[in-house]
Amino acid sequence: MNRIVGGAYAAVEAARSSSRPTALDYISNVFTSFIELHGDRRGGDDPSLVGGLALLDGCPVTVLAIEKGHTARQRQARNFGSVHPEGYRKALRLMRQAQKFARPVVCLVDTAGAGCGLADEQHGIGQAIAENLTELAGLSVPVISVIIGEGGSGGALGLALADQVWILEGAYYSVISPEGCAQILWKDPAKASEAAACLHLTARDALDLGVADRIIPETDFGKKPFYDSLREALSEEIQNLRKEPGLSDKRYARFRRF
Amino acid sequence: MALLHFLKPANALEAGGRDHLPVQSDAMEPELTCPECRRSTPVSRLQSRYMVCPCGYHFRMNARQRIRMAVDAGTFREAFADIVGNNPLAFPGYPEKLETARAASRENEAVICGTGKIGGHPCALFFMEPGFMMGSMGTAVGERITRTFELAYEKGLPVVGFTVSGGARMQEGLLSLMQMAKVSAAVRRHADAGLLYIAVLTDPTTGGVTASFAMEADITLAEPGATIGFAGKRIVEQTTGKRLPKGFQKAETVEEEGFIDRIVSRQQLKTTLVMLLAMHPAGGERT
């Protein structure tokens, strides 16, 4: 039992490690010709959400990625991957653009949770996530979301209402941080490891619950064969999804199960 | 005199976490003390004025009281009441919490759904219940609200929904998170059919409910003084590292910031709903 308890929380801690590849590592190794597109056209540009166009095996796609940064300085500049409303609205703009040009969308998710500062609330963080959810629900282009590290709550879901949700072997996906859960339930954030075990938040749990469709193994993690096989998997899945009519209806059915 | 006067809640969410207990006065009639103006008013008098203090403070209301307030008498038909939460992740202590919530609220889940008429206009309706685990959203709540939107979609009805929620129900883990996606997809489908959705945000509307269907309506109304936000106050305070400005996450502030269409007092609410519904002929685009 103790081992299992430690297991879930150890997974959370590992997923948070700054040595894991971040979204920009995936962007430069899985895709080619990435062109970053900035701004939400509402007055802001959020560096924690990197969006743009890229080629995946020669095919143009829209990439929406949460970037945490590696060094302390990068992490601070990226708000530790906690996306502001401006970031979700930039993603929204690029989703609409993808729809216009019939371009598949690939989301790379890595966040402890959405931004929770004063300005985030004042600029409508809840509304920004909500709008992305209804937008994603209606897209007729393929959407694949890959949780590459932390899948923290609504902040992650705002980029993960997808046809296919994949999760890295060492990533987690949860409704609340284990610390937050322990604080609310037991008034004791130190009980985070118990909370982590109760929350069923590991990649395996996400797969078992049907929340994730596929676990991406971390063999040769961060090396060329790892990125090559992820590229191949994404490319193949996008080809499959492109053949399917009524993607938004199927996406509806996918989430209707829960 | 009542000691309850001196029990100050740590924050607005906590203040909303339980019903204001009636205070027994000398006159034997139960009274409620307003946390704003400190005046005590007999409960019977408050009930006759939609639980609004003479100073304008809106006391918490449960879902059944709201149904009586908003829906034409005798027209409400409850639906989906057989959908109840269990303990899908075997979360420790959750069955006991559900039992306590059922006993305390006399409801079997944190939302009541159905159909009814408002000013003669047929509607699909949902009313979240604060007395049931602070209106938290697990699979049963998500399923009931999703079915309400599906029913409205099939019948070409508008949806009027009252939100009050602490957010996603963590005891159901990822399955609770998925309810945000499920309900949002149902809202989208209903919207694409040209049908109207009016949300009435009441105190408190937070977390995953704010980040999904509370903020997805065509017209978003809110009650005066309601706390409306995503993250909890304490978390924002910790992140920001300083005291939060006056009126933070209050409906009046959120309206100024541009995320609410109108703040409507309870005395004005039904009239407002009827006017809005009348301006959206039934069936919308599909007729």
For residue B251, give Cα distances in angstroms to B2, B36, B161, B203, B259.
Answer: 30, 16, 17, 9, 9
Name which of A141, A151, A106 is nearest A248 in CA terms: A141
For the packed helices A178-186 and A192-199, what is the interaxial angle rounded to 10 degrees?
110
Q: How far apart are CA A232 and CA A221, in angstroms?
A: 15
Q: Identify whether the C-beta of residue A179 lies closer than 8 Å to the C-beta of residue A45.
A: no
B200–A contact, CB cutoff 8 A: no
The answer to whether residue B27 is domain-embedded is no
Instruction: Tell me if B182 and A255 make a contact (CB, 8 A cut-off).
Output: yes
B96–A contact, CB cutoff 8 A: no
Q: Looking at the complex, report in whole angstroms how far the Cα of residue A58 sits from the nearest Cα belonging to chain B.
A: 31
The answer to whether residue B183 is domain-embedded is yes
Q: How far apart are CA B108 and CA B148, in angstroms?
A: 17
B180–A contact, CB cutoff 8 A: yes
The answer to whether residue A246 is domain-embedded is yes
Instruction: Tell me if A130 and B139 make a contact (CB, 8 A cut-off).
Output: no
Q: Which two tokens stand for residue B215?
A: 């903020």
- Residue B23: the pLDDT is 57
The answer to whether residue A258 is domain-embedded is no
User: Which one of B139, B192, B211 has the shortest CB-CB distance to A138?
Assistant: B192
Instruction: Tell me if B248 and A121 make a contact (CB, 8 A cut-off).
Output: yes
Instruction: Tell me if B146 and A256 make a contact (CB, 8 A cut-off).
Output: yes
Q: Is the per-residue pLDDT at B7 higher than 70?
A: no
Q: Which two tokens stand for residue B77?
A: 């038909």
pLDDT tens string B192-241: 999 999 999 999 999 999 999 999 999 999 999 999 999 999 899 988 88
User: Which residues in chain A touch residue B12, judged by CB atoms under 8 angstroms apart?
Assistant: none
B192–A contact, CB cutoff 8 A: yes
Q: How far apart are CA A67 and CA A49, in angstroms?
A: 6
- Residue B85: the pLDDT is 84
Instruction: Tell me if A130 and B210 make a contact (CB, 8 A cut-off).
Output: yes
Q: Is the per-residue pLDDT at B8 higher than 70?
A: no
User: Which one of B180, B244, B258 has the shortest CB-CB distance to A133?
Assistant: B180
- Residue B15: the pLDDT is 42
The answer to whether residue A207 is domain-embedded is yes
User: Which one of B89, B177, B244 has the shortest CB-CB distance to A118?
Assistant: B244
B185–A contact, CB cutoff 8 A: yes
Q: Looking at the complex, report in whole angstroms how far the Cα of residue B96 sits from the nearest Cα belonging to chain A.
A: 13
- Residue A2: the pLDDT is 38
- Residue B22: the pLDDT is 55
Number of domains within chain A: 1
Q: Looking at the complex, report in whole angstroms how far the Cα of residue B31 sits from the nearest Cα belonging to chain A.
A: 31
Position B106, amino acid = R
pLDDT tens string B164-181: 999 999 999 999 999 999
pLDDT tens string B63-77: 999 999 999 999 999
Name which of B166, B162, B240 is nearest B14 in CA terms: B166
Q: Which domain holds residue B221?
A: 61-286
Q: Is the per-residue pLDDT at B5 higher than 80?
A: no
A135 → chain B, closest CA residue = B188
Helices assigned H by DSSP within A17-84: 23-30, 72-77
> What band does B283 get if pLDDT is binned at 50, 70 and 90?
low
User: Which residues in chain A touch residue B139, judged by CB atoms under 8 angstroms apart?
Assistant: 258
Q: How far apart are CA A142 and CA A56, in angstroms?
A: 13
Q: Is the per-residue pLDDT at B188 higher than 50?
A: yes
pLDDT tens string B113-132: 999 999 999 999 999 999 99
The answer to whether residue B42 is domain-embedded is no
B178–A contact, CB cutoff 8 A: yes
| CB burial of residue B65 (10 Å; 0-12, 13-18, 19+) | middle
CB atoms within 10 A of CB B100: 12
Q: Looking at the complex, report in whole angstroms how far the Cα of residue A106 sits from the nearest Cα belonging to chain B.
A: 18
The answer to whether residue B53 is domain-embedded is no
Number of domains within chain B: 1
CB atoms within 10 A of CB B268: 13
CATH number at residue A214: 3.90.226.10
Q: How far apart are CA B36 and CA B17, in angstroms?
A: 17
Name the 3-class secondary structure at B35. Answer: coil
Instruction: Tell me if B185 and A161 make a contact (CB, 8 A cut-off).
Output: yes
Identify the residue among B163, B171, B178 best suited for mutation to test binding to A, counting A beta carbons within 10 A and taking the highest: B178
Instruction: Tell me if A173 and B174 make a contact (CB, 8 A cut-off).
Output: yes
B116–A contact, CB cutoff 8 A: no
The answer to whether residue A46 is domain-embedded is yes
CA B150 remoteness from chain centre: 20
Q: How far apart are CA A126 and CA B217, in angstroms?
A: 13
Q: Which domain holds residue A59?
A: 2-253
CATH number at residue B237: 3.90.226.10
CA B251 remoteness from chain centre: 13
Q: Is the ipTM of this complex over 0.90?
A: yes
Q: What is the pLDDT along chain A (258 residues), one digit of tens a residue?
A: 334 455 899 999 999 999 999 999 999 999 999 999 999 999 999 999 999 999 999 999 999 999 999 999 999 999 999 999 999 999 999 999 999 999 999 999 999 999 999 999 999 999 999 999 999 999 999 999 999 999 999 999 999 999 999 999 999 999 999 999 999 889 988 899 999 999 999 999 999 999 999 999 999 999 999 999 999 999 999 999 999 999 999 999 999 999
User: Which residues in chain A touch residue B215, judged by CB atoms under 8 angstroms apart?
Assistant: 124, 126-127, 130-131
> What band does B281 get if pLDDT is binned at 50, 70 and 90?
confident
User: Which one of A124, A185, A251 has the shortest CB-CB distance to B259?
Assistant: A124
